[in-house]
Amino acid sequence: MQPVYRFAPSPNGYLHLGHAYSALLNFEYAKRTGGRFLLRIEDIDQGRSRPHLEEAIYEDLAWLGLEWEKPVLRQSEHFNFYADAIATLENRGFLYPCFCTRSERNFEDAELKDPDGAPLYSGKCRMLDDASRAEKLNAQLPHVKRIDMKRVREYLSSTLVFEEFGTGSAGRMITAQPERWGDAVIARKDVPTSYHVSVVLDDARQGVTDIIRGADLLPATDLHLLLQALFNLPTPRYHHHDLILDSDGDKLAKSKGSKALRDLRAEGVTPAEIRSRLGFLEK
């Protein structure tokens, strides 16, 4: 089977060295294995995504020497597809509407944190009686849709396992623990989907077999496995690579003013220098 790789950036900032590393790793793996390389624009966050940043992604990746299949899938063009899939989970009784505001949530179970460090949701809206829930829905109160984790785990009691492949070395099997996310948000207030749902559905419909992405997304994979099982989709292999750190040992981030690839380019840095800095051998 021909392997399929993808790089899936969000156009909410300029790409930095960390993105370059991820994109190049996927691209090089595809080349080495005779696989396909896809680019996907993850722009469900309409408040933060910008067309000029999407253009900059194409420009920066082309500058690095990458080529990808066209047309490129843009998630913002597929909200109905995600919403329909979410409706199937809702119809099966796996989701519930949550009307809590951010401050209410933080006040709740502040002691218990999810893997991202956010307070674990207490389940307050799960406990609403049918009449109060219907009343709030009829009043069209803004709400997210959360997964009823306990219920889902009762339904899907089997162990969820994925292969984490290494670079060169043998892979290892990891048991997913989606429970540690609690009643995670499956559909946001502003858009009828979430990162987790869109990424899982798109990886499956694009036939992605091997997902290479940063180690910061390793905990999210637990939820992705759960969703794959619920949607009856195959589980790809994963490789979560080390993050590229700045000279202080911190993760590169737009918010911390890490240099964008285009800043490096403006300073005269060449694609070959970027590749060698990231440990890729010359073409």
Q: How far is 282 from 275, CA to CA, in rounded Å?
A: 7
Task: Return the number of the residue (146 or 239) whose C-beta is nearest ligand GLU.
Answer: 239
**Nearest Cα to Cα of residue 49 among 69, 67, 30, 74:** 74
Task: Please tell me whether residue 11 binds ligand GLU under the rule CB under 6 A.
Answer: no
Near ligand GLU by CB under 6 A, which window of 4-12, 30-38, 93-101, 172-180? 4-12
Which of 217, 218, 233, 269 binds ligand GLU (CB under 6 A)? It is 217
**Nearest Cα to Cα of residue 203 among 216, 185, 217, 191:** 217
Q: How far is 34 from 54, CA to CA, in rounded Å?
A: 27
Nearest approach, Cβ of residue 98 and ligand GLU (Å): 24
For residue 120, list its beta bridge partners.
109
Nearest approach, Cβ of residue 238 and ligand GLU (Å): 9
Instruction: Give, as one character, the DSSP assignment of residue 46.
Output: T
Amino acid at the residue 76 = S
Nearest approach, Cβ of residue 194 and ligand GLU (Å): 12
Nearest approach, Cβ of residue 138 and ligand GLU (Å): 35
* Binders of ligand GLU in range 27-86 (CB under 6 A): 42
Q: How far is 244 from 229, CA to CA, in rounded Å?
A: 32
Task: Please tell me whether residue 213 binds ligand GLU under the rule CB under 6 A.
Answer: yes
Task: Please tell me whether residue 9 binds ligand GLU under the rule CB under 6 A.
Answer: yes
**Nearest Cα to Cα of residue 255 among 14, 10, 9:** 14
Nearest approach, Cβ of residue 6 and ligand GLU (Å): 8
Task: Please tell me whether residue 230 binds ligand GLU under the rule CB under 6 A.
Answer: no
Task: Return the number of the residue (98 or 201) whose C-beta is nearest ligand GLU.
Answer: 201
Strands 210-214 and 237-241: parallel
Residues in contact with ligand GLU by CB under 6 A are 8-10, 42, 199, 213, 217
